[in-house]
Amino acid sequence: MRVVFAGTPEFARVALERLHAAGFEIPLVLTQPDRPAGRGMKLQASAVKQFALAQGIQVAQPRSLRLDGKYPAEAATAREALLAAQPDVMVVAAYGLILPQWVLDLPRLGCLNIHASLLPRWRGAAPIHRAIEAGDAVTGVTIMQMDAGLDTGDMLLVEPLPITSADTTGGLHDRLAELGGRMIVEALELAACGGLRPVPQPADGVTYAAKIEKAESLIDWHRPAAETERRSRAFSPAPGLVTELAGEAVKVWRVETSTADGGDAVPGQILSAGPEGIRVATGGGVLILLDLQRAGGKRLPVREFLQGFALTPGQVFGAPTP
């Protein structure tokens, strides 16, 4: 089976590596153009591109696949490369470009997507983040037959994965990437012998996982402590949570909730600050801050953080000034 692969970040690289290890013929990889990254903002190849080049696989990086779009010449060149590759199937994982109908129709078996949720829950860009943020007890991977909609295609394989109370997006991402890599190999092996059975997605239970916006990192101390605790895990390793004290922005990384009551304290007010944690009143319960980071500094456990940033009960955290 000839497989064209389209993907960009580490989640996709894992799947590409599993397909390559399983012996599938991969004549072409599509990935996003190189982007500036790091302190020097030098152009950096995607994780998928780095793996593909290391294996001697041809790489194409069009900015668009729309033949009538903003970059028609790049789309036309990509189309020529796809036609030359003669794929039986295209596997897509976190690619970052919308596939127009001509791409969906080109491979004999169509395009299969590795989606990190149990569809139809959490269609869209950030399913891992949103599942943790919402307090879901389970997520998983869906291998889906792509159509023109946003993650609306028929389900081919589905496998659940529990979410623990300690899971961050970073840790859950890695487990889902491994699961997705195993499942797409299984899906293609089934496809090769006509063993895939498409199942339409249920009409009920549809939710959308919107892209994470930077403004969401601001802590709203009027919200319940349990909600902020989930968001701290959902936004780790990025973008994290941020608040302000004494005119300085402070990143808050690891937190836990307390069963204690904040009493008459206003939301954001520090109740106590010591090596065991900084206890802060919220709109519902008390939040204990355990790992923090000053602007330009390193992430530190609370014991070390307080050595360079003295806090006293009664001070009030707020939203950073724009």
Domain CATH number, residue 55? 3.40.50.170
Whether residue 106 is found in the same domain as residue 128: yes
Identify the segments of the chain with pLDDT beneath 50: 322
Whether residue 139 is found in the same domain as residue 62: yes
For 151, which DSSP code? S
- Residue 283 in domain: yes
- Residue 108 in domain: yes
For 110, which DSSP code? -
Please give the tally of structural domains in the chain.
2
**211-219: long-range contacts, CB 8 A cutoff, minimum separation 24:** 211/124, 211/125, 211/126, 212/126, 212/129, 212/239, 214/239, 217/241, 217/242, 218/242, 218/243, 218/319, 218/320, 219/243, 219/252, 219/317, 219/319
| 19, 92 Cβ separation under 8 angstroms | no
Per-residue pLDDT at 108:
96
Whether residue 275 is found in the same domain as residue 170: no
pTM score of the predicted model: 0.94
- Residue 318 in domain: no
Element (H, E) at 104: helix 101-105
- Residue 322 in domain: no
Residues in the chain: 322
Whether residue 204 is found in the same domain as residue 268: no
| 64, 70 Cβ separation under 8 angstroms | yes
Per-residue pLDDT at 40:
79
Per-residue pLDDT at 294:
95
Whether residue 147 is found in the same domain as residue 260: no
Segments forming the whole domain that contains residue 24: 2-209
Strand, helix or coil at 242? strand
Whether residue 93 is found in the same domain as residue 184: yes
Per-residue pLDDT at 183:
98
Structure tokens at 14: 């894992």
16/197 Cα distance (integer angstroms)? 23
CATH of the domain at 250: 3.10.25.10
Per-residue pLDDT at 320:
59
Per-residue pLDDT at 322:
45
Among 171, 194, 209, the domain-final residue is 209
Per-residue pLDDT at 321:
52
Nearest Cα residue to 63 out of 35, 36, 85: 35
Inter-CA distances, 254 with 88, 108, 111, 142, 304, Å: 46, 48, 39, 30, 14
Among 167, 194, 209, the domain-final residue is 209
- Residue 315 in domain: no
Backbone angles phi, psi at 157, to 5 degrees: -140, 140
- Residue 104 in domain: yes
- Residue 314 in domain: no
Whether residue 87 is found in the same domain as residue 105: yes
Whether residue 87 is found in the same domain as residue 221: no
3-class secondary structure per residue, 161-196: EECCCCCCHHHHHHHHHHHHHHHHHHHHHHHHCCCC
Whether residue 149 is found in the same domain as residue 193: yes
Nearest Cα residue to 253 out of 235, 280, 279: 235
Whether residue 24 is found in the same domain as residue 150: yes
Among 209, 238, 261, the domain-final residue is 209
Structure tokens at 140: 């998983």
Per-residue pLDDT at 287:
98
Per-residue pLDDT at 316:
96
Whether residue 117 is found in the same domain as residue 39: yes
- Residue 316 in domain: no
Q: Any idea which residue has 């496809």 for tokens?
A: 191
Whether residue 65 is found in the same domain as residue 168: yes
157/164 Cα distance (integer angstroms)? 23
Nearest Cα residue to 271 out of 219, 199, 221: 221
